[in-house]
Amino acid sequence: MSTIDFQGGEVLAALESQFAPKVIAKPKPEIRIKNAIVCSFYTSDDYYKGHGARLRANLEELGIAVDLREITKKEGEDWAAICRKKVGFIAEVCAANPDKKVFWIDVDCELFSIPDFILNSTADIIGFQRGFSNPTKIGYENRGRFWEPCFWGINNTPQARKMVQAAADFEKVATVRATDDFFFEEAWRAVSPNMTFQIIPSNCAVDKGAGTLESHDVFFRFGSSGQVENFKNKVEQHKGNKAKKLLNPKRELLELAKLIEEKLPEKLSVRMRLLVDASGITGFLTGKKHNNLNNQTINELVKAGKSGDLKKFNKALELFKRKVLPNRYESAAIKVASSYLAYSAKPSKEKLNIAWWENPYPGNYGDWLTPFIFNHYTDNKIIFQGLTTQAPKKHLVSLGSVGRFIKSNSVVVGTGVSSFKHALNPKAEYISVRGPHTAELLLKSGGPIVESFGDPAVVLSRILPFTRGETNGRVALIRHHTHLQAPVKLPENFDELSVQISHPNDIIAFIEKLHEYDSVVTSAMHVMITCQSYGIPCALVVFRGFEDYVHGDGIKYSDYALGAGVKELNPVAIDPKIKLSELEPITHEIRISERKISEVEAAIKEGIKRLNK
């Protein structure tokens, strides 16, 4: 009987085994980076646990070893107490990996890659400087602490490990209430005279630097749970030698203005906003130190460019070059001053005041199309009028989503809006607007009915009648200037062109260059409009994770298309690691009709005529 039971059991087990669902073991991630490990931890709450799962997948995709742990938050422990545990944890990971570099990353941050200059650094410590600042603001004169603790690397050198162990030993006995960066800073100060260190450029972090095409690749994105502000002044913190709370009256006034605006009835709020914008107060309150320029000679050079004073421009430039090696901001200002001069120093005695968005230096292609286009239709000097400053003289407002800054003495040609949030000035002279959405907002704002539509950039093919010959078999990528820190990786047959141009010669060369390519991929609307003016195949995109970087709610794309009489296209989100399979279905060859170009050209000429009256 027992034999029969045994055999039956075997048969049953065999059947269960045959029909049971197969459990496929998940393959271990391939470790391609052999000399380093990344560590972090997280608690079990939804925010940190979700980021933990994302970070693990992120690091495994990069092929680096990971020590990522979920820790238990004990009763009575707050965020500061959890952060303090990083000290012992990092020391433990270092001890367990004596032959590897150890990188700590906050769990809500993200790595797009780990550049060679970091993986192969010989420095004892590598990281971002506190506040993601740059080398001109290094050290304790400007910051209470030296390092930004969200991502930093510890080499396997004796001095690096000595610092980590010193921090851990101090944390065990210290009675102060403090977070991890306090203890690491104490250890750094204690042993740093014997250490080498390397600072990662702020441009390598999303939103923390300039994001130029010439810098190292962007590889890091900072995450913030908001807890730092919650615990400010509640835990022990270091103070810089000059760490004083600086009064910022502009910031205080701006906050007060926003508060008042929120409390007012909508109609009164709209009227007040129009008044404030027209008076130049908005520009004063929101404007930062102009393009990071501190050199008085450079500021004089820009002023000379705007006013058309060629003699003063040349004198200031000669003086500057003899005394200073320009930094990137000063070089950009010199370029933009030359661009102003190209329009303002024309031989005519007559002047045409035109407003456009001048920032960021050295200029943005779409914004600087304004003087470029109007310059073709007038011999007058073109004098820059700031959009956010007072406008004592009658002036033109044209390309861009700058409708909010239209003033009572503006002549409007083809201007649009990026949302319906701000009313339009009903007293201006409206020749045309970008599209029917802007016209609808104007009517709701108490303005006139406008039925002439079209972005002035559609006339480019008439101004520069280039023809496309045989193309080069490649694709051009042109990013919106706010997307310059997206971690873009180009396929082999791609080239990247920059929109950061302003001089008319550079604009001509840029448009001519577009004609060499099979197609264009862009996140800049006026690059797309340029392509549609000539019939160059183009894909309008945005990069995943950067969808909100272009100002507005997206209405401008529909407004433009309806105004130009072309198919409506909205930006399609694509992987920053560009894949051809994502681009082929969204690349369209669209050409604006000659009839529409003529209509827009007529509006441009009428705008100039009205201004010259």
pLDDT of residue 552: 75
Confidence of residue 11 (pLDDT cuts 50, 70, 90): very low
384 in a structural domain? no
State the Cα–Cα distance between residues 36 and 94, nearest whole angstrom. 11
Residue 523 makes CB contacts below 8 A (sequence gap 6+) with: 478, 479, 480, 483, 540, 541, 542, 543, 550, 571
pLDDT of residue 1: 40
pLDDT of residue 231: 39
521 in a structural domain? yes
Confidence check: pLDDT of 229 > 60:
no
Confidence check: pLDDT of 47 > 80:
yes
Which tokens is 198 given?
A: 């390397």
118 in a structural domain? yes
140 in a structural domain? yes
CA nearest 468: which of 521, 518, 538?
A: 518
Which tokens is 553 given?
A: 């709610």
Q: Which domain holds residue 212?
A: 33-230
Confidence of residue 6 (pLDDT cuts 50, 70, 90): very low
Amino acid present at 524: A
Q: Report which of residues 142 and 316 the model is more confident about.
A: 316
320 in a structural domain? no
Q: What is the CATH number of the domain that holds 482?
A: 3.40.50
188 in a structural domain? yes
pTM of the model as a whole: 0.82
Dihedral sign from CA coordinates of 445, 449, 453, 457 = negative
Q: Report which of residues 26 and 389 the model is more confident about.
A: 389
Whole-angstrom CA distances from 57 to 51, 115, 228 are: 10, 18, 26
pLDDT of residue 275: 61
Mean pLDDT of 159-187: 91
Q: Report which of residues 415 and 297 the model is more confident about.
A: 415
Confidence check: pLDDT of 265 > 90:
no
State the Cα–Cα distance between residues 306 and 319, nearest whole angstrom. 19
122 in a structural domain? yes
Cβ–Cβ < 8 Å for 116, 33: no
State the Cα–Cα distance between residues 465 and 467, nearest whole angstrom. 7
Element (H, E) at 93: helix 79-96
288 in a structural domain? no
Mean pLDDT of 572-582: 93
Which of 203, 230, 257 is the last residue before a domain boundary?
230
Mean pLDDT of 575-589: 94
Q: What is the CATH number of the domain that holds 139?
A: 3.90.550.10
- Look at the chain and report how many structural domains it folds into: 2
Confidence check: pLDDT of 475 > 60:
yes
Q: Report which of residues 2 and 126 the model is more confident about.
A: 126
Cβ–Cβ < 8 Å for 530, 388: no
Amino acid present at 157: T
pLDDT averaged over every residue in the chain: 86
